[in-house]
Structure 1
Amino acid sequence: MLDADWTDANVLKVLGDRYRLDAYHVFPLRCSDSTAVAWHVECADASTVLVTQYLARDELPAARRALGMSEFCRAAELSVPRVRPDRDGDLLCTLPDEGTLHGTCSVVDADHGAGGLRPYTRDQAEHMGLALGRMHQVLAGYPLPSQEPVGAERAWAVLCAADAVAAHEAASVQIVARGAAARHVALALQQIRRYLSTHLAELRGAVPAPKDLTAHAIHGQFMPPYVQAATGLPVVSGFLARTGYVAWEVARAAFNPRTVAQGQDWQVRALALLYSYHKAHEHFPVAELAACPRLAALDMLCTPVSSAAPAEWERHVVALRRLLDALPELDEALRHLFSAPRRTV
């Protein structure tokens, strides 16, 4: 069941009535998710909050888990925006169906600004590695959101080539319907099919089996725009609160397709993130960190591009090609990195 979108006036009323916030300026945000709508709202106390209305009621348990994990990390003094409770102390504010205005929302501090989508620098990569290492230490003791990894968190380990191709093709149909150029998507699909047929089995054979990888509660999308790393310690938002393989999340952060595809020093940035993670979480198995380049490649092979922008599909393929070509070089660099005395990358 989907609730109706609120108007700007509805948002202001909810903030006043349920959060005791004197707000005056509402900026609707463009959302790619049809199950939620969001606004940035300026308040009279000079603060800015992000208001998210959840339209799909079956998504509310996941939203509650994500907000709870966010507050758990903030309580552990990680750099995470505050989730504001409503007047009843609930992180999810639900208006009764019998009222003239109904629905469910959350309110989160947004004074840190929006996360950028530019490739991160080496310094930012180091800060991201430190932040992710500290976060994983905190989340190691967090209740599991699910009994085992599901969805994208395990697709890299279980999808056969045919099923991975089918997933990419299904995503391509959806994004072409949303306006993507069919020619650009077809070219990307051709490359992905070829890489799946030539590399999937080899990559899986070179990484630890899933049963041998560390798994616990993870953020779920620790990458831009949910990591704001413009200055100093990154501000982390956008929690999905999933059960997942820790090295998988590290790999996706270190070898983010945008960073790998753009610029010539992407390997330096990736190694900086991995080494900083190792410094922050020194008891995490080095063998799992050494598997990150291949885990990232497996993730790119098995996770479809969701954007309708042709540049995203091209970037995905370029990143995958660069990463596959660089695996021997990265293996040598990681062997040296983790065997040498601690130093700056």
Structure 2
Amino acid sequence: MTVHGDAPGRFEDIVADRLVHAYGLSVAAVARIPFGAETDNFTARLSDGGGVFVKVYRTGQDLERQSVRVESARFARAQGVPTPAVVPDRAGQALSREREPVLSVWEFVAATPSTRPWTLRVAENLGLTLGRLHRAFAHHPAAPRLVPVRPLWWDRDIRSALDVADALLRRIGEPRTQADAARRDQVATRRADFEAHAPGLTAGLPRVVVQPVHYDFTRPNLLVHPDDTIAAVIDLHDRIAPPAWELGRVAFDPLTVATTDDWPTTALTLIAAYRSENPDLPTEQITACARMALLQAMQSFYGVREHYERPDPVHQADLDGYWHRRWQMTRRLLAALTDIEDALKASTR
């Protein structure tokens, strides 16, 4: 049963019925959330005033892999990482499969992703949270069943990224608007930066250490309370990848780097908090985390590529903004990389 193609309203009723019969919940209302790359997501308001979050799995999905993700969230929560609690069905199953649609039900967390640059307090709390997650996941019980990420930024032929840029420049063609001209200049600049600097950046990498990680520990999956504490980490993708890359990716958050002047201090604060919680990650990996994040970001044309190849009628404005901020981030981090790495070396001595 495919969910995302169903008529509005119809599937809300189906989800409500499954919550009543499979979970024994008294449901007052179900509402669809217009986000979700791999699942269709809903919130359910319960008659007692509480609520739950519902993930509905689409037809043809690998349910074994989804089951491992649920196990990972439970494991992380048991180790002190603030992941939402899983609500089992009446049979005690985390994935309710008695009939379609297959779904999982989670504690509802009354918080949202931050829309502001990281503050020092948020950065410290994010570093502690990610450090705790990586320290726990180094001993992940389901590690043999996780999917390794195929090599990308650390040993990929730079020609493939240049080819993507060239194809995108051809697609944009002669700019019709000032916005098109600006995006074309940004793509051309990104291409030139990558061609000039990728060989040296790659040559400066240590041997890359990999382990189970969240794999998308980024702003949309980090729910933050108004007091800058971390309410929840959601949507664990649990893949085998470099923990230092994931650290650099959140420390050098595009919105923070692109829009603030004290972003180096914010990043170093996050990394220091991470190290206090996960001192086992080798120091050369910590030192290289900015370089890893930069290399990966410079190969990505996410946002601008969607604009010209497969525009999203609902979210394209957000994607355009993300591309612009990430473009600014790569330029600023590239210019400051030597100073950042010197500071990281000094802090890890």
Question: Are residues 1:204 and 2:202 paired?
Answer: yes
TM-score normalised according to structure 2 size? 0.84
Match among 160, 172, 175 for residue 163 of structure 1 = 160
Shift of 1:16: 0.7
Counterpart amino acid of 1:252? R
Q: Cα RMSD over matched residues?
A: 2.6
Match among 307, 310, 323 for residue 313 of structure 1 = 323
**Whole-Å Cα distance in 1 between the matches of residues 124 and 190 of structure 2?**
30
Question: Are residues 1:332 and 2:329 paired?
Answer: no
Q: Quick one: higher RCO (CA 8 Å, sep 6+), 1 or 2?
A: 1
Residue in 2 that maps onto 1:128: 126
Shift of 1:167: 4.8
Question: Are residues 1:245 and 2:242 paired?
Answer: yes
Question: Are residues 1:227 and 2:226 paired?
Answer: no
TM-score normalised according to structure 1 size? 0.85
SS in 1 for 2:143: coil
Structure 1 residues 57 and 148: alpha-carbon distance in aligned structure 2, compared to 1, 3 A threshold:
closer
**Whole-Å Cα distance in 1 between the matches of residues 59 and 297 of structure 2?**
29
Structure 1 residues 64 and 148: alpha-carbon distance in aligned structure 2, compared to 1, 3 A threshold:
closer
Alignment of 1:44-63 (within 5 A): 44-63=47-66
**Whole-Å Cα distance in 1 between the matches of residues 234 and 146 of structure 2?**
24
Structure 1 residues 192 and 183: alpha-carbon distance in aligned structure 2, compared to 1, 3 A threshold:
same
Counterpart amino acid of 1:144? A
Counterpart amino acid of 1:150? V
Match among 189, 192, 196 for residue 191 of structure 1 = 189
Match among 211, 217, 227 for residue 216 of structure 1 = 211
Kept after mapping to 2: 8 A contact 1:73/1:135:
yes
Shift of 1:243: 0.8
Residue in 1 that maps onto 2:139: 141
Residue in 1 that maps onto 2:290: 293
Residue in 1 that maps onto 2:17: 13
Kept after mapping to 1: 8 A contact 2:54/2:104:
yes
> What is the aligned length?
323
Shift of 1:332: 2.4
Structure 1 residues 171 and 44: alpha-carbon distance in aligned structure 2, compared to 1, 3 A threshold:
farther
Structure 2: runs of 5+ lacking an equivalent: 173-178, 307-315
**Whole-Å Cα distance in 2 between the matches of residues 316 and 48 of structure 1?**
35
Kept after mapping to 2: 8 A contact 1:65/1:145:
no
Structure 1: runs of 5+ lacking an equivalent: 97-101, 176-180, 340-345
Shift of 1:116: 2.3
SS in 2 for 1:199: helix
Shift of 1:70: 0.3
Structure 1 residues 55 and 317: alpha-carbon distance in aligned structure 2, compared to 1, 3 A threshold:
same
Shift of 1:48: 2.2
Shift of 1:46: 2.6
**Whole-Å Cα distance in 2 between the matches of residues 20 and 182 of structure 1?**
53
After TM superposition, the structure 1 stretch with the greater mean CA deviation from structure 2, 220-229 or 267-276, is 220-229
Structure 1 residues 109 and 165: alpha-carbon distance in aligned structure 2, compared to 1, 3 A threshold:
farther
Q: Deviations over 1:222-273 (max 9, x none)?
A: 1212112334345211100111111111111111222211211111110001
Kept after mapping to 2: 8 A contact 1:23/1:43:
yes
Kept after mapping to 2: 8 A contact 1:185/1:310:
no
**Whole-Å Cα distance in 1 between the matches of residues 238 and 84 of structure 2?**
15
Shift of 1:81: 0.5
Match among 50, 53, 71 for residue 68 of structure 1 = 71
Percent of aligned positions that are identical? 26
Counterpart amino acid of 1:103? P
Residue in 1 that maps onto 2:309: none
Q: Deviations over 1:272-321 (max 9, x none)?
A: 01000111112321111011110110110223314633211111110000
**Whole-Å Cα distance in 1 between the matches of residues 230 and 301 of structure 2?**
30
Counterpart amino acid of 1:205? A
